[in-house]
Amino acid sequence: MRLVVEAAEPGRRELVPLREASGRRLAEPLVATTDWPPFARSGLDGFAVRSADTAPASPGSPVTLRVAEAVAAGSLAAAPLAPGTAVRIMTGGAVPQGADAVVMLEQTADALLDGQPAVRVKHAAEPGQNIAPRGEEFRCGSVLAEPGARLRPGHVALLGTFGYADVPVYAHPRVAVLATGAELLPVEAPLAPGRIRDSNSAMVAALVEQYGGVPLLLGRVPDEPEAAARAITEALAQSDIIITTGGVSVGDYDVMASLLHRLQPPRDAAAGSEEAAPSQQAPSPEVPRTGFASEAPPPSTAAARQPAPPPSAAAELPPGSRPLFNKAAMRPGSPTSAAVLGGKLLLALSGNPGACFVGFELFAKPAIQRMQGAAAADALPKQATAKLAAGFDKGSPHERFVRTRLYTREGVLYADPLAFGKSSMMASIPDADGLIRIKAGPEGAAAGTVVDVILL
């Protein structure tokens, strides 16, 4: 997973209207374009006064001040405040020059002074009372939000305050979705002997959209290596990342496995140079074992070398191509592989629906979120601990990710493993709230065991 997140650097940027910025991640630092507030303003309805003029005031002996004028929000006083006078002011109004306090309306009473409008002030005012001074919140040039910040409605209000009608954000990544397998039929086609409908493409497209990407459904990858390489090249021209399903096992017709093998250097070159990096078998998706994901995990040291097939005469892969890993030590989804082709990430997921779903959550989701500007640590799956509501007695030589329903009882989070959990089974996918992590071993985990759960 670390290798995938590192390869999925934040990508294209675009300007979007302010009203569309919520939920997007910022691509550039944005700063205050002026002091805020830009002038000393009143915090409430009342009277702007010179605090020294109100010093003798008390409820039994109020101070009477002549009202010079009224200032509404959006207007300015005609002249500085003279001694012995007050200005009627509204919330948000600019405090007149010479005034250093605002007395709330409830602490005053209307009066007349020599036949002119006046106000009785019943309490002494403190300097600065009920006034927001210029620059109290922001100074011009101070940072409002950093790159990678996920913009919320509050950010939208803040950016609108400083005149950002358009906001620079990371673009939604364009995700090419391709399926492999001669047995696949379009969803709308009638079933035929030995054939199945391609449900993975629609599921992957829905997941891509759910996590902020733009799915590009590009159909089926041909089973011939040359044709498959051309299809991948065409997908690279249209997309920021490619996700394929199927064709990554070890069968005679697993075309994605054949393509990925071509990224490996010859075995003798690999043996003679540490810089030659053959395809790796990932030990397991590198999700933090406890709590919520907070840091990128350290590099794995358990990679195992895979033998390469004979060189192929198929079409050339684009420059800037390299393997990330060939298969992962996980169940389901052990055929899952990844590479960089032409500088863009390719994720080859299993064709089994359950394994495809798990592989997407562990690898594709973090990559898509990273490409939208999420920090590497934030892109990793979030975890919680839960108590197993029922035992899972199926052991595995690799770490297993079991679909589960989650519920809380008496303040304790429980994980109830779902039936139909085989990699090829789809029945439990809609009900999955999380993925239980069962450590590799011969026995699985007993009911009541505290386990880590990846939250979906």
Query: Domain containing 51 — which CATH number?
Result: 2.170.190.11
Amino acid residing at 282: A
Average pLDDT of the chain to the nearest whole number: 87
pTM of the entire structure? 0.81
Last residue of a domain, one of 72, 100, 132: 132
Closest CA to 351 of 423, 403, 404, 251: 423
Say if residue 179 is in the same domain as residue 202: yes
Q: Let me know the angle formed at the C-alpha of 256 by 254 and 261, rounded to the nearest 5 degrees.
A: 100
> What is the mean pLDDT of the segment spanning 209-223?
92
The per-residue pLDDT for 321 is 85
H or E stretch including 168? strand 166-170
Is residue 145 in a domain?
no
Is residue 451 in a domain?
yes
Q: For residues 273-301, b (16+ Cβ closer than 10 Å) or e, as one string? A: eeeebbbbbbbbbbbbeeeebeebbeebe
Sign of the C-alpha dihedral computed for residues 141, 162, 379 and 202 taken in this order: negative
Neighbours of 353 (CB within 10 A): 20
Q: Which has the minimum average pLDDT: 159-168, 194-203, 334-343, 421-430?
A: 421-430
The per-residue pLDDT for 317 is 66
Say if residue 124 is in the same domain as residue 211: no
Rounded Cα distance between 140 and 135, Å, is 8
Say if residue 389 is in the same domain as residue 415: yes
At residue 266, does pLDDT exceed 80? Answer: no
Paired tokens of 337: 């592989």
The per-residue pLDDT for 224 is 80
Rounded Cα distance between 117 and 69, Å, is 9
At residue 299, does pLDDT exceed 90? Answer: no
At residue 106, does pLDDT exceed 70? Answer: yes
At residue 239, does pLDDT exceed 70? Answer: yes
Structure confidence by residue, pLDDT tens digits, 350-360 = 999 999 999 99
Residues 6+ apart with CB under 8 A from 20: none
The per-residue pLDDT for 28 is 96
Q: Let me know the angle formed at the C-alpha of 26 by 22 and 27, rounded to the nearest 5 degrees.
A: 145
Say if residue 366 is in the same domain as residue 388: no
